[in-house]
Amino acid sequence: MESEVTFLRKEQGAAVYAEIILNRPEKGNALNRQMMEQLDSIVSQIESDRELRAVVIRARGRFFCTGGDIDAWGSLSPNDMGRDWILYGIQVFGRLAALPQPVIAAVSGHALGGGLELALAADLRIAVQSAKFGSPEVTLGMICGWMGIRRLAETIGVARARHLTLLGAPIVAAQALDWGLITALAEDADDLERQLSGWLEILSANGPVAMALTKGMLSSMHADLRHHHASAAAQALSTEDCAEGLLAFREKRKPVYRNR
């Protein structure tokens, strides 16, 4: 039996890249625990292969991914759900997003729920115009579990993230392009492959270390810095310069700072 998540090491001209293929089309490529473990193992292989210049995530069948398989989590207790399903999924998607290589989601079908969260873990997203994107979890009384709400807000803004996650209704690929949810739109599967080949050619010509460093810097742009900010503000308040600045403001004069 073929693995439900397949790893291929491929070459296109000078480009050496990895393909991760979701291979459960009869179930809409819904993710179960075994698939998550396979994906986790594949990420480990990619991490150790310095020749790979890019990673492509794609799927077989009508759907890119319909999210987490309800049969995999529907009967779990809340504690088991949080520990064994949600936290593990966050870990796997986080490792995928943190790969040094650029990750491309080639979306040839609908990406819904956890499937959209998987696509959001990629750096670049291209989709055929027939694809739809949605976060229908609220229609099941659930929420996005694998950091999807945050990644949506980071990618398309809070207002549009609210639209997707509160209404629970999908949007078409053209609207996803307009919102910045995807970065390119393909007319059909052939056009998707043509554009994808162009991206791979460009990425293979770029400096891999520079791309990895750039990814690292971008990933820090939306880090939770509340505690860092609070600590920095407290540190500033404790300085003699801050005391001088406050006193000068009250005395309506120019402060004299001594860098201490």
Which positions are catalytic? Answer: 117, 137
Q: C-alpha distances in angstroms, 242 versus 131, 152, 192, 236, 259?
A: 55, 39, 57, 6, 10
Separation in Å, CA 183 to CA 124, 178, 236: 6, 9, 41
Q: Name the residue type at position 149.
A: I
Residue type, 38: Q
Three-state secondary-structure class, residue 62: coil
Q: Give the C-alpha separation, 161 to 107, whole Å.
A: 19
CA 237, CA 148: separation in Å to the nearest integer? 37
